[in-house]
A and B are shown apart, each in its own frame.
Chain A
Amino acid sequence: SQTIHQWPATLVQPVGSPLSLECTVEGTSNPNLYWYRQAAGRGLQLLFYSVGIGQISSEVPQNLSASRPQDRQFILSSKKLLLSDSGFYLCAWSPAGTVNYGYTFGSGTRLTVV
């Protein structure tokens, strides 16, 4: 069966510090991968998606970046965090080559920038 792992679960970082969040998927090959952010009490905003290694599409201009160094690994990074980067970050995957109607989410990382 497929599983998705995301870490860390919580993170408190000072303004201006770097960020690296990692997500890995097991039990499938060539998944579509996504990073979403959810502000407190709000909906989910798509940040990045990837359909293959090294293929990253950005949805929202910001000081975040994403990378996919391996087939089932997706990394969200920032060189210098802003207060507005606080939120709940969720990684998700869906099968490739199909209509992607059902996403499976990781457990999320709650980031607080102080």
Chain B
Amino acid sequence: GQSLEQPSEVTAVEGAIVQINCTYQTSGFYGLSWYQQHDGGAPTFLSYNALDGLEETGRFSSFLSRSDSYGYLLLQELQMKDSASYFCAVLAGRGYQKVTFGIGTKLQVIP
């Protein structure tokens, strides 16, 4: 099966940079995704990394190291609206790929 670890809570100041780490254990690994979920809402897809390295999308960047089974989500120029839960998720499987989610990191942005 798959397992993922990420911090349960992170607090950061508005305008700052925050990094949310994710380590995983899985077989048949394809890639690592990140999702954002505001309280009471549905998760929304942020990014996907299949290859090692950094992918940048505006203020958000995501990194993957396949050899270390590790990735992170980097949020820059934090805004109050970035307060949400962030889930890493592995796409893995032999024959059919499924997405398994971590427990999520609750990010609180403070003034």
A75 and B102 CA atoms in complex are apart in Å by: 25
For A103, give its contact among B30, B31, B99 (CB under 8 Å). B99
Interface size class of B (residues with CB under 8 A): 20 to 34
For B33, give its contact among A49, A59, A102, A106 (CB under 8 Å). A102
A80 and B44 CA atoms in complex are apart in Å by: 31
B105: min CB distance to chain A, Å: 10
Number of A-B contacts (CB under 8 A): 51
Segment touching A, from B12-20, B72-80, B90-98: B90-98
List of B residues within 8 angstroms of A12 by Cβ: none
Q: Which of B56-111 contact A (CB under 8 A)?
A: 87, 91, 96-104
A13: min CB distance to chain B, Å: 20
Q: Is the CB of A108 within 8 A of B42?
A: yes
Segment touching B, from A14-22, A40-48, A64-72: A40-48
For A101, give its contact among B31, B100, B104 (CB under 8 Å). B31
A104 within 8 A of B: yes
List of B residues within 8 angstroms of A45 by Cβ: 101
Contact with A along B25-56 (1 / 0, CB 8 A): 00000110100000001111100101000000
10 A–B contacts, CB within 8 A, in A order: A36-B101, A46-B99, A51-B96, A57-B96, A99-B30, A100-B91, A100-B97, A100-B99, A102-B45, A108-B42
The list of the 4 closest CB pairs from A to B, nearest first, reads: A43-B103, A101-B48, A105-B42, A44-B101
Q: A44-B87, A102-B45, A106-B42 are in contact. List 5 more A-B contacts (CB 8 A).
A: A36-B101, A43-B102, A49-B98, A101-B30, A104-B45
